[in-house]
Structures are given as C-alpha cells and as structure tokens.
Amino acid sequence: MTGTPGFIGERLMQAREARGLTAVSLAEMIGVRSANISNYERKKQSPSAEVMERIARVLNQPQAFFLRPITVASEGVWWRSMNAAAKGARVRALARHSWLREIVAYLSEFVDFPDVNLPDFTPPEDIREISMEDVEGIALDCRRFWNVGMGPVADIVLLLENNGIIVSRGELAAEKLDAYSQHPKDSGHPLVFIGSDKASAVRNRFDAAHELGHLILHRNVDARRISGSATFKMIEDQAHRFAAAFNLPAEEFANQLWAPTLDAFLAMKPHWRVAIGAMIKRCGQLGIVTDEQATRLWINMNRRRWRTREPLDDRIPLEQPRLLRRSFELLINEGIKSPEQIATDLALNLADIESLACLQEGYLSGRAPEVIAMPQLRRQTRPKGTSGSVVYFPPKGD
C-alpha cells in the first residue's frame, strides 16, 4: 500500500493531542488499528491517501498541515497546576501552544512586535534563595521599571503586550488550569496564555500578573527540570506573591483600606479590579488581619455565597489581547496577505488561527460580518525594504 510522501508523524501526534483524542479513539474514528496510529506517529509507516484524507477530516486540519515540518523547539512551560486531573488539558494546551508559537514566528516576518522590555533583576537559579521579601521588592521594582505608579494598572494585558509579551486567551478546559507562560529561547518574545473558562476579569488580571511573576522571577529556571510537589508549590507561591504585590502594592493598598471588612473590599474592587478573596489574602500577607480574622472573613464570604462568584464580576470588563489580532488585521487591511494566503502559509485550520490570535470568529474564513478597521494604529514603513509595518499600540483604548 502506497503511503503519503513527506508525512510528518509528529504533526499527527500534535493534532491528535490538540483535539484531546487518544490514539485508540482516533483509530476508531478513521477506521484503522491503534497500532497504525502509533506507527504513523513514530514514523514507522505513513498513511495511504485514503486514510490521510480521513485523518485530515477528523482532526480538522488541511492535509498540508501533516506535511509541514515542526519548526519550534520543545521547551518548558510554567503551568498554574500540575494536578493529575489537569494532565490531559496540559497536553492539549501544549500542542496548541506549538501552533501559537508558529503563528508568532509567521507574523514576525511581516510585523515588528514591540521590543521585549522586561526588567532583569538577575534572579537566582535556585528558587530557595528567593524570599517573599525579595518577591515584594521585585514586584515594586517592576512597576517602577515600567513607570506605572503604585495605583491600579489600567490594563495589565495591554501593559504586557506593549512590553513585548505575546498574550493569547482561550479555553483550557480544566478546573485547576488557569494560565501558563513560556519564554522561548528562539523567538525572544515571552508568551502568556490566559484561560477564558471562568470569564472573570479580576481573576484574569491576577493570572496575567502571576505569569509575569514566572517570567521575571524564574527566567533562569528550567521548567522541565522542576520535580516534586514541594518545589512546584514554592515556585507557585512565589508567583502568587508577585501577583499580589504587583496588583496591590502594600503601602498604597493599606493606605486606601479604611477597614478590613467585606463591604470595604467590595467598595474597593472596582478601583483596584482585584478579587475580594485576593484582598483578604493580601491583608493576611501584610499583617493587616490575623489568621483568625481572615478565617471569619472567609466564613462570611461563604455565607454571602461569594466564594464561587463575587459581586461585580459581571460588570468589570475583561482585558482582551490585541497584539496578534491587530497584526493579522494589518496584514489583510494593507493587502500584504489574503486570508487564503495566510491559510496556505501556516497550513493550519483557520478556526484555530482565529482562536489563538483572538480574532473575531470567521474573520479569516470569510464568515465575519465585516472587516474590522484599525484607526488607532499608527504605522510606518518597515525598514530594510520589507513589506510589513511596525505596529504601535496606544496606552489606552482598543
């Protein structure tokens, strides 16, 4: 039986994992033995033309996808949870993360992203050498480095993007998996992915600050070498503390808090755009409340039924990533690339590109009701005679 010339077994595994399928379930869906799937993925054989067509249809990818070499190296990712129940979601997210990195690399050929502008506090490789006092100071120094003052950050996602961090948002389909981040060695641009499952602006802001903590505190730590629940917990605790200190600077927050009560926290929530639960924890960190007082606050949270969903969660707008979306809009609006050319170049399902780039559903596939204009962008010719443009993002607005 003739196989498919140029078939890339790793692409089959990548697409299968991205769709959340096991080898057995995929085999049943396309009518072959599970051993065949294993052989395809391990490059021991390639599928026939008929089987290849079924694979592409079931996994919802163009056949060209399975012939395109993988160009991004496998590197460690900082996960918000290493819970066994979230393993399947991590596998799925990691496969899609590879596609995100390919999209970033592709756009980089035409668009100049903002330069990476992360403060380098030369954190140690041994995380045990990082104290919580160090974390507090680094969070404040990060604010000073970016000159955002000590009040609420207007838009944390925009702040990250304007400083060269690529942000994406989408479903992670796991209760214990809220976000992840990576600082690839090849692309130079850190990536942060924020889960949209809980659809809470205050939680998403905390997640963004948490991942920023990883990028700054743990940039010299190889995430792939982290083992043991105690070490992982220490790393997560440090990122949690960074997020708390970054979102609620100790002195400013304490000065504005007239009383550590639920009503006071609720009144401050629209201003700081931080969860009431996060404010309770912050008061404990700063010694504003004792453990006993914090326990009573949590009990009262339960009585008011605020633990699962707090008041105002539906009124504070979600912060949306802009960088990738606007880059694709720029390519199309300027006539640099058509949606068809983008689909051919990336060899990815258009719905996956739209999702990962936070584009309006149907924007590339032609089902969108209209093309989105970009009056806020200021453009100048890209240097060295290339056809792309430099993209600038304003400090406020969309």
Predicted local distance difference test score (pLDDT) of residue 374: 36
pLDDT band at 186 (very low <50, low <70, confident <90, very high): low
Give the CA radius of gyration of the chain.
23
Query: Per the domain annotation, does 376 fall within a domain?
Result: yes
**CA distances in angstroms from 16 to 5, 28, 179, 220, 234, listed in the order given:** 20, 13, 22, 32, 33
Predicted local distance difference test score (pLDDT) of residue 248: 98
Q: How many other C-beta atoms are found inside a 10 Å radius of the C-beta of residue 82?
A: 17
**CA distances in angstroms from 101 to 23, 66, 104, 294, 386, listed in the order given:** 25, 17, 5, 42, 22
Q: Which residue has the tokens 């007082």?
A: 293
Read off the pLDDT of each residue in 42-53 and give the average, rounded to a whole number: 95
Read off the pLDDT of each residue in 9-24 and give the average, rounded to a whole number: 96
pTM reported for the whole predicted model: 0.89
Read off the pLDDT of each residue in 335-344 and give the average, rounded to a whole number: 95
Domain membership of residue 338 as a residue range: 324-391
Asked whether residue 14 falls in the same domain as residue 47, the answer is yes
Of 245, 273, 303, which residue is a domain's last?
303
The secondary structure of residue 373, as a DSSP letter, is: P
Asked whether residue 198 falls in the same domain as residue 275, the answer is yes
Of 269, 303, 337, which residue is a domain's last?
303
- Higher pLDDT among residues 25 and 390, named by residue: 25
Query: Per the domain annotation, does 352 fall within a domain?
Result: yes
Predicted local distance difference test score (pLDDT) of residue 77: 87
Residue 144 confidence (pLDDT) above 50: yes
Query: Per the domain annotation, does 46 fall within a domain?
Result: yes
Please tell me the distance from the alpha carbon of residue 30 to that of residue 14, in angstroms, as a whole number: 17
Type of residue numbered 376 = Q
Pairing of strands 191-195, 166-170: parallel
Query: Per the domain annotation, does 397 fall within a domain?
Result: no
Query: Per the domain annotation, does 210 fall within a domain?
Result: yes
Of 33, 49, 67, which residue is a domain's last?
67
Q: Of the candidates 73, 62, 311, 343, which has an alpha carbon nearest to the alpha carbon of residue 184?
A: 73
Residue 373 confidence (pLDDT) above 70: no
pLDDT band at 180 (very low <50, low <70, confident <90, very high): very high
Asked whether residue 149 falls in the same domain as residue 245, the answer is yes
Query: Per the domain annotation, does 88 fall within a domain?
Result: no
pLDDT band at 122 (very low <50, low <70, confident <90, very high): confident
Predicted local distance difference test score (pLDDT) of residue 85: 55
CATH of the domain at 42: 1.10.260.40
Residues of 349-367 as b/e, b for ≥16 C-beta within 10 angstroms?
A: bbebbbbbbbbeeebbeee
CATH of the domain at 197: 1.10.10.2910
Predicted local distance difference test score (pLDDT) of residue 86: 77
Asked whether residue 150 falls in the same domain as residue 121, the answer is yes
Q: Read out DSSP for 75-108?
A: ---EES---GGGHHHHHHHHHHHHHHHHHHHHHH
Residue 78: strand pairing partners? 181
Query: Per the domain annotation, does 82 fall within a domain?
Result: no
Q: What is the pLDDT of residues 221-237, one digit of tens each?
A: 877 777 778 888 999 99
Asked whether residue 177 falls in the same domain as residue 235, the answer is yes
Asked whether residue 163 falls in the same domain as residue 245, the answer is yes
Asked whether residue 140 falls in the same domain as residue 285, the answer is yes
Contacts by 257-263, CB closer than 8 A, 24 or more apart: 257/283, 257/288, 260/288, 260/289, 260/293, 260/297, 261/297, 262/297, 262/300, 262/301, 262/304, 262/306
pLDDT band at 123 (very low <50, low <70, confident <90, very high): confident
Per-residue tokens: 14? 């990548």
Asked whether residue 187 falls in the same domain as residue 279, the answer is yes
Q: How many domains are there within the chain?
A: 3
Residue 291 confidence (pLDDT) above 90: yes
Query: Per the domain annotation, does 248 fall within a domain?
Result: yes
Q: How many other C-beta atoms are found inside a 10 Å radius of the C-beta of residue 145?
A: 16
Residue 335 confidence (pLDDT) above 70: yes
Please tell me the distance from the alpha carbon of residue 114 to that of residue 161, in angstroms, as a whole number: 7
**CA distances in angstroms from 75 to 187, 221, 248, listed in the order given:** 12, 12, 32
| Maximum Cα–Cα distance across the chain | 77
Asked whether residue 200 falls in the same domain as residue 168, the answer is yes
Q: How many other C-beta atoms are found inside a 10 Å radius of the C-beta of residue 195?
A: 22
- N-term to C-term CA, the chain: 55
Asked whether residue 183 falls in the same domain as residue 41, the answer is no
Predicted local distance difference test score (pLDDT) of residue 354: 97
Asked whether residue 133 falls in the same domain as residue 246, the answer is yes
Asked whether residue 175 falls in the same domain as residue 288, the answer is yes
